[in-house]
Structure 1
Amino acid sequence: LQTKQDAPAGAGILASFSGNAHGDLVIRKGGGVLKLPYQPGRSRPADMAFVVDGFRVARSYPEYMQKCLDTVLNPRPELQGEVKRYYFHQPNKRVMDAFVTRAGLSPETVACNVDLYGNTSAAGMLILLAEDLEAGRVRLGAGDIVLVAAVGANIHYGAQLIRL
């Protein structure tokens, strides 16, 4: 276990970003929180549900992931070439491969295991990082720079640029 005093100078989160697109990707059948709360006899619980537009979510994945990359990397252009590994939320292999190509990333730098385990949701990036730490692809205390980016049904999205 590495303690803060053992960490190399400059280790930790170098840049962080989070965003929210719920207004574009969520259908509020009964208004959700925009209207009065559920009232027995006057509305059904289902009327208050938030429904995610799955087709729009799938189409918007590259847009929000690119926004994550740009927001944490553009302010630090000197670090863009130093990112050793990328750890992304992985909805499926086809979407991942298309995004990696579209973003112009080297597939060797993008950790991927969705083809082995399926979509592990929010745990995906941490599983990938743990696998890479175990295999020695990245090392704590070595100063390796990694980028973690995720989307939650593209409603919430964010990224961190981290020096290990």
Structure 2
Amino acid sequence: MSDAPLTIRRGPLFRLTGVRIAGAGSCLAERVVTNEELGRLGCDPEWILQRTGIRERRHAPPGVTTSDLATEAARRAIADADADPAEIDLLVLATFTPDRLLPQTATKVQDRLGLACPAMDVVAACAGFMYALVTGAQFIATGSARRVLVVGADTNTRVLDPEDKKTFPLFGDGAGAVVLAPGDASQGMLAATLGADGSGTDLLTRRMGGVERPFADPDAAEPTDATCRPWLMEMDGRPVFKWAVRLLEDTFDHVLTGAGRDKDQVKLWLLHQANARILDAATDSMGVPRERVVKHLDRYGNTSAASIPIALDESLKAGLVRPGDELLMCGFGAGLSWGTALWKW
């Protein structure tokens, strides 16, 4: 990988209106893990807070899986939408930590919810919820579905190396979900874009588990070097940080310009909760008031595909969203991939 900055490869803009979010729900793993607890593993609690903004995160206990978190978040979203499970026409689950490599985790969630609909996984790491949301919105906007359940869920702690003291403290486990339904012509995505840059593939990755390098017994597997366990996640944090700040500044401008809006018309900024310094750097450069940028990573850490729907659910429950409000949603991460949308409520 070159030391030169990654270019920002803009994807096309599109509009998906006539779609509304009828309900939302979330589910966090029960166990709270503080920075002080991680200090016993050799992590510096003050470094974690100063460099990431994270004070604590949630870890799923043994036996709790991604499908468990996803199912509960989905149940809550369906109840919030006052929907009958029989009305759900499609389930799209965003995750990069599936219960199994085969079959898709969405089918397990579908069965547990008693749904009679297609069910598929979308794998786009921390951008996964935005990819799944666009997919579900397309089904609604084209009239191919009347109710779509979109879930973002990840059990990150199962694929992290506890000895990686710069990465392990960043992540937590959780799930969020929304139910999409037909809306009026003004509702939905006023402008949106999806993008990817595969030149950053090795910056955030799990090298083992696919056909390129199938799983072996982890105890017998030989690390590629002294610091890497290829069956677990690894991240080159510095270039990812720099890319993320530049990407956010560019994609915000891209989408707002495409929608004919400016930053002051955005009620809330619901951004992937990767690192408080990334969010502050990107939004401060645009003059966005920090109180409009929703943050929960201080309590939950980076919950990957779950972070945006968790932020949305908590904002709705707090009464922060009203009809006609415009919300800027953006997910970004491994791939490198991203998705951004200006959503009118």
TM-score tier, shorter chain, comes to 0.7 to 0.9
- TM-score between the two structures when normalised by the length of structure 2: 0.38
CA deviations over 1:105-151 (Å, ceiling 9, x no partner): 11111111111111111211110100011111003xx1211010111
Matches of 1:59 and 1:9, distance apart in 2: 38
Give every structure 1 segment of 4 or more consecutive aligned residues whose post-TM-superposition deviation is greater than 4 Å. Answer: 44-47, 49-52
- TM-score between the two structures when normalised by the length of structure 1: 0.75
> Residues 87 and 130 of structure 1: is their aligned pair in 2 closer, same or farther, counting only changes over 3 Å?
same
Give yes or no for contact 2:200–2:335 (8 Å, CA) kept in 1: no
1:59 correspondence with 2:242: yes
Over the aligned positions, Cα root-mean-square deviation in angstroms equals 3.1
Give yes or no for contact 2:264–2:288 (8 Å, CA) kept in 1: no
Give yes or no for contact 1:20–1:156 (8 Å, CA) kept in 2: yes
Equivalent residue, structure 1, for 2:340 = 159
Give the helix-richer structure, 1 or 2.
1
Equivalent residue, structure 1, for 2:326 = 145
Give yes or no for contact 2:270–2:311 (8 Å, CA) kept in 1: yes
Matches of 2:188 and 2:287, distance apart in 1: 26
Q: Which amino acid aligns with 1:84?
A: K
Matches of 1:52 and 1:162, distance apart in 2: 31
Instruction: Kindly indicate whether structure 1 or structure 2 has the higher relative contact order, using CA contacts under 8 Å at least 6 residues apart.
Output: 1
Matches of 1:8 and 1:106, distance apart in 2: 30
Q: Which moved more, 1:93-102 or 1:54-63?
A: 93-102
Structure 1: runs of 5+ lacking an equivalent: 28-36, 39-43
Matches of 1:138 and 1:146, distance apart in 2: 9
Equivalent residue, structure 1, for 2:312 = 129
From 299, 319, 322, give the equivalent of 1:116. Answer: 299
> Residues 99 and 78 of structure 1: is their aligned pair in 2 closer, same or farther, counting only changes over 3 Å?
closer
% same residue: 31
SS of aligned partner of 1:111: coil
Alignment of 1:14-29 (within 5 A): 14-24=190-200, 26=202
